[in-house]
Amino acid sequence: MDNEKLILSPKRAKGEDGFKTFSIRIKEDLVEKINDISNKTGYSRNELIGKFLEYAVERCVIADTKQEESKD
């Protein structure tokens, strides 16, 4: 038992795990809704926000403002 060694690998630096940390400002009522969903589902706020952002980004369509302006 005394011969067993604890082998530690170097810890990856922040940002090298594929995640990026940053802060955002959102309205309190939206925070409350996210907290409510978190409480009902067991997902953390962070997990939910990540899922919501992935969903929105995959479905986002950017309107061509030049086309919109030419219609007027």
Average pLDDT over residues 13-32: 89
Range of the domain at 56: 31-60
| Global pTM value | 0.67
Question: How much is the pLDDT for 72?
Answer: 60
Kindly state whether residue 51 falls inside one of the protein's structural domains. yes
Residue 69 contacts residue 59 (beta carbons within 8 Å)? no
Q: Got the DSSP string for the chain? A: -TT-----PPPPPTTTTS---------HHHHHHHHHHHHHH---HHHHHHHHHHHHHHH-----HHHHHHH-
Kindly state whether residue 39 falls inside one of the protein's structural domains. yes
Kindly state whether residue 42 falls inside one of the protein's structural domains. yes
**What domain count does the chain have?**
1
Which residue did the predictor score with more confidence, 21 or 66? 21
Kindly state whether residue 68 falls inside one of the protein's structural domains. no
